[in-house]
Amino acid sequence: MPYDLLRKRENSLVQLENQLPSPSSTKKEANLFSILKNSIGKELSSITMPVEFNEPLSFLQRISEYMEYSYLLKTASECSDPLQRLQYMSAFAVSALASNWERLNKPFNPLLGETYELCSPVSAATKVRRNTIEDDCSMYLCEGVPVPTDSDREDLGFRLVCEQVSHHPPVSAFHAESEDFQFYGNIHPRLKFWGKSLEIKPEGTLTVHLLKHKEVYSWTNVHCCVHNIIIGKLWFEQYGMMEIHCHTNGMTAQLNFKSAGWFGRDLHRVEGFIVDNQKKKLCFLYGKWTDYLKVCLMEDYEEYTKTHADVCNKHKHNTSMTDGGVGDDSNHDTPTKKFSNKLNVLTRSFTGGGSRDRSTSPEPPVSPHDPSEDDNGAIPKSDSSVSLDIPNSTALWHVQQRPDDSLKYYNFTSFAMALNELQDSWKKSLPITDSRLRPDIRMLEQGDTEGAAAEKNRLEEKQRDARKQRKKKKETWNPKWFVQGRVPHIKNEIWLFNNSYWSQDFADSPDIF
Tens digit of pLDDT for each residue in 487-504? 999 999 999 999 999 998
Q: In percent, how much of the chain has pLDDT > 90? A: 56
- The CA distance from 270 to 278, in Å, is 23
Q: What is the pLDDT of residue 37?
A: 63
Q: Could you count the other beta carbons within 10 Å of the beta carbon of residue 360?
A: 7
**Higher pLDDT among residues 101 and 141, named by residue:** 101
Q: Where are the beta strands (DSSP E) in 292-400?
A: 292-297, 394-398
Q: How confident is the model at residue 189 (pLDDT cuts 50, 70, 90)?
A: confident
- Torsional sign, CA 487, 490, 491, 492: negative
Q: What is the pLDDT of residue 214?
A: 97
- The CA distance from 175 to 317, in Å, is 42
**Higher pLDDT among residues 27 and 461, named by residue:** 461
Provide mean pLDDT across the span 175-184: 98
- The answer, yes or no, to whether the previous bond of 391 is cis (omega within 30 of 0) is no
| Per-residue pLDDT at 388 exceeds 70 | yes
CA nearest neighbour of 128 among 46, 12, 229, 212: 212
| Per-residue pLDDT at 47 exceeds 90 | no
Tens of pLDDT, residue by residue over 393-441, are 999 999 999 999 999 999 999 999 999 999 888 888 999 999 999 999 9
Q: What is the pLDDT of residue 122?
A: 55
- The CA distance from 32 to 234, in Å, is 11
Check if the beta carbon of residue 216 is closer than 8 Å to that of residue 490.
Answer: no
- The CA distance from 446 to 235, in Å, is 26
Q: What is the pLDDT of residue 348?
A: 35
Q: What angle do CA 436, 61, 418 make, to 5 degrees?
A: 65
- The CA distance from 189 to 479, in Å, is 18
- The CA distance from 374 to 365, in Å, is 15
| Per-residue pLDDT at 105 exceeds 70 | yes
Helix (H/G/I), strand (E/B), else coil: 509: coil
| Per-residue pLDDT at 154 exceeds 50 | no
Check if the beta carbon of residue 270 is closer than 8 Å to that of residue 94.
Answer: yes
SS3 content of the chain, % helix, strand, coil (to 5): 30, 25, 45
Strand pairing report for 205-210 and 198-203: unpaired
